[in-house]
Amino acid sequence: MLQRDADGAGFARHFRIPFTLTAMLLFLAAVSQPAHSQNYSVIYNFTDKGSDGASPYGGLILDQSGNLYGTTYDGGTYGSGNIYKLAPSGSSWTYSTLYSLKGIPDGSGPAFGSLAMRDNRVLFGTTEGGGDFGTAFAVCACPGSEIVVHKFGVGTDGAQPIGGVVLDPAGNFYGTTSLGGIYGNGTIFEEKRSGRGWTESVIYNFTGGNDGTNPPAGVTLDAHGNLFGTTSLGGA
């Protein structure tokens, strides 16, 4: 028989032990559930033949229909890389080249960044070379159409944009150049819609001091319009 203390503490102590054991058992049951099984499969092998690409350094993005989009650094019709689409088709995937870069006119070597998509139909990205010293481009998600938004490497606008880009709600996009700018240490740039065209502006020049130098990747945009990123060198 439980002897109840004047303040009920005896009952509380007696009740706490089975309650604690029950909580522990529930916790162990939760964490011991088998993990969701993971399956790995190759959905496409790049061949570097014909209009197919090679060296897909950048990551992939998804549209609302589950199609994947990415870039290859090499290959394509002209050997300067391409922009491609992988569409789910039953239990497999169908590959198509959306655009093969030509090199000097429109860019070459879309490097390590992912594309950005607007309105489920326009893809934006950058190339390491071509143009003058890299380009920012827009490609229709339907094959065959590309616009050079900006050619880098003239003046202090930056050079070698090897990271990806990010879009804001107004359709402007932002990225980095790993070289160039006023101090030669790279920049953060904005490509802003201007009528039927685009206007490029450098919104930050890395000095090579405590602020860093040579940003290799793109930037991340928060809901307040702040940009976050990294540099490969420099700093304190």
pLDDT in tens, 41-97: 999 999 999 889 999 999 999 999 999 999 999 999 999 999 999 999 998 999 999
pLDDT band for position 1 (50/70/90)?
Answer: very low
pLDDT (0 to 100) of residue 142: 81
Find, among 144, 208, 143, 150, the residue nearest to 181 by Cα. 208
Quickly name the fold that domain 53-228 has. Answer: Neuraminidase (2.120.10)
pLDDT (0 to 100) of residue 201: 96
The H or E element that residue 92 is part of is strand 92-100
- Identify whether the C-beta of residue 86 lies closer than 8 Å to the C-beta of residue 57: no
Amino acid, single-letter form, for residue 128: E
Is the pLDDT reported for residue 193 higher than 70?
A: yes
Q: Specify the pTM.
A: 0.81
Amino acid, single-letter form, for residue 105: P
Q: Which two tokens stand for residue 221?
A: 């945009």
Question: Rounded to the nearest 5°, which phi and psi values hold at 97?
Answer: -85, 120
- Identify whether the C-beta of residue 97 lies closer than 8 Å to the C-beta of residue 51: yes
pLDDT (0 to 100) of residue 31: 54
Find, among 165, 179, 56, the residue nearest to 129 by Cα. 179
Q: What is the DSSP letter of 213?
A: B
pLDDT (0 to 100) of residue 66: 94
Q: What is the DSSP letter of 14?
A: H
Q: What is the DSSP letter of 79?
A: S
115: which residues sit within 8 A by CB, 6+ positions away?
A: 58, 61, 69, 70, 71, 83, 123, 124, 125, 164, 165
The answer to which of 106-120, 130-144, 172-186 has the lowest mean pLDDT is 130-144
Is the pLDDT reported for residue 14 higher than 50?
A: no
Distance CA 162, CA 219 (A): 12
Is the pLDDT reported for residue 5 higher than 50?
A: no
The dihedral formed by the CA atoms of 128, 133, 137 and 139, expressed in degrees to the nearest 10? -60
| Per-chain mean pLDDT for the chain | 87
pLDDT (0 to 100) of residue 27: 56
- What value does the mean pLDDT take over residues 128-141? 91
Neighbours of 200 (CB within 10 A): 16
pLDDT (0 to 100) of residue 24: 58
- Identify whether the C-beta of residue 51 lies closer than 8 Å to the C-beta of residue 77: yes
pLDDT band for position 26 (50/70/90)?
Answer: low
Is the pLDDT reported for residue 182 higher than 50?
A: yes
